[in-house]
Chain A
């Protein structure tokens, strides 16, 4: 790529007691792009995110973020550097309000990137994610759609350079999916690079600049959506030997 990649992964491997969840994955992410990650269940996508943010220690490989090697660093240190993720199964702090939840990300994760007026910033984020009306509600009382938005809002509050979204569309209805896609675009437009695991292939293909396809812990394709989705290996991985009607 013409510019220096903001995130660069080489030979990433993760083994769990004999199960090879990731088996030597390489890819680069350009700053400002939306980078989709797809693959069948069990392909290792969430494990990949866990390794990137330091929630799990990779068994092998190198992860470079903004030129610095970060594999092996703990989660909170990587978040402080501007790389954050959301969880596939949401984990709100149920006894805190929505605004307090977001403030945790803002106060502890943004580090030197904290804005001058935190209150205003939090209000902005709540607006952007459509949670402004629920700001004082206890996070434990949220619907699943709102809870997913809170998960994103908290992560955005850490003022990341790179945001990793893990299946944010799971369980959403079509209207919510459209809203989510537009939210992701707005996050990208604010200058954040987005990595995005998703099962809704249509959505990913619609928004992503480039896509990575994983299967059995290995990369089977990487590149522009149109090209990747025609790749025979990708077709085989998802559907056997039939060609999918993607476009």
Chain B
């Protein structure tokens, strides 16, 4: 059935983007047990920076990633050092103070965007925005395909880094057992800073990619933050593959609702979210957690 194939292909493409967007949130939580609400703001800033680079300097959004990624990595590290580190942290992280502090940062970033770029709806047009290509018999937009390629590549690089570099292994160690990792000599402070950097870099990059596909205002981070949260709750946050799987499930859900029902897009978000809440009631360990141990340890959220 071509309709089904269209849904699957589109879901796959969107899933790549969603996974990139979610991983930024996941890595910070994994290392520091902090939910970074500023993630939404960084996402949004990534989009606007890309916009400016495109409009003022004519740089293609995909190319601008080369600038965006290091820029936001640095931003994340600075954010950590200036604001997160000084916080009196309760043993075990996940404090209300950090949540609210980062929420405050998000608000400030939003205001910054309103001040610099105004609240008008923006979008990025490139030479290939309107072009499309046939993939497995389904017509997909070229930007969508490019975004998927970049997302997939970034996740592969990430997985490789986690598996084969010292840094990656240190991150995984701290995520799984902070105390043991510290005892092994890992510098928690440095790893936290790096994690924040990576998280912001992914958020910023995801923002750039989102800007290629969607119109945006300073407020648009919120809906994507909620999606990222849904994905993390569905999938747990320790494995890249888990996040990818969760991203696919959400994307599939959205496409199925959009494809087979007449429910308008704004409702779809509410609906996806409600289904998530229902799923949480049925599977408190996250849906993938219910499928057993092969995906690795699940972190309890409740």
Contact = CB atoms under 8 A, between A and B. Distances in A.
B289 to A, nearest CB: 9
Interface string B282-302: 000000000001000110000
A10 B188 CA distance: 44
A18 B293 CA distance: 7
A190 interface: no
Contacts of B297: 17
Interface in A113-145: none
What is the interface of chain A mostly: helix, strand, loop, or mixed? loop
A17 B298 CA distance: 9
Nearest to A17: B293
B170 to A, nearest CB: 23
Contacts, number: 4
Contacts of B293: 17-18
Nearest to B298: A17
Interface residues of A, number: 2
B220 to A, nearest CB: 38
Interface in A50-68: none
Bin chain B's interface residue count: under 10
Interface string B82-96: 000000000000000
A18 B298 CA distance: 12
What is the interface of chain B mostly: helix, strand, loop, or mixed? loop
A118 to B, nearest CB: 31
A50 to B, nearest CB: 14
B178 to A, nearest CB: 16
A72 to B, nearest CB: 15
B151 to A, nearest CB: 30
Contacts of A18: 293
A17 B288 CA distance: 13
Interface string A1-39: 000000000000000011000000000000000000000
Contacts of B298: 17
A42 to B, nearest CB: 15
Interface in B247-302: 293, 297-298
B264 to A, nearest CB: 41
A18 B297 CA distance: 10
A17 B295 CA distance: 10
A17 B297 CA distance: 7
A74 to B, nearest CB: 13
A17 to B, nearest CB: 5
Contacts of A17: 293, 297-298
A18 B294 CA distance: 10
A17 B296 CA distance: 8
A14 to B, nearest CB: 15
B225 to A, nearest CB: 29
Nearest to A15: B293
A239 to B, nearest CB: 27
A17 B286 CA distance: 14
Interface in A181-226: none
Interface string B104-145: 000000000000000000000000000000000000000000
A238 B298 CA distance: 33
B292 to A, nearest CB: 8
A179 to B, nearest CB: 29
A69 B48 CA distance: 61
B270 to A, nearest CB: 32
A189 B56 CA distance: 84
A245 B232 CA distance: 54
Nearest to A19: B293
Interface in B20-48: none
Nearest to A18: B293
A94 to B, nearest CB: 11
Nearest to B289: A17
A128 B298 CA distance: 43
Interface of B: 293, 297-298
| 3 interchain residue pairs of minimum CB distance | A17-B293, A18-B293, A17-B297
4 contacts: A17-B293, A17-B297, A17-B298, A18-B293
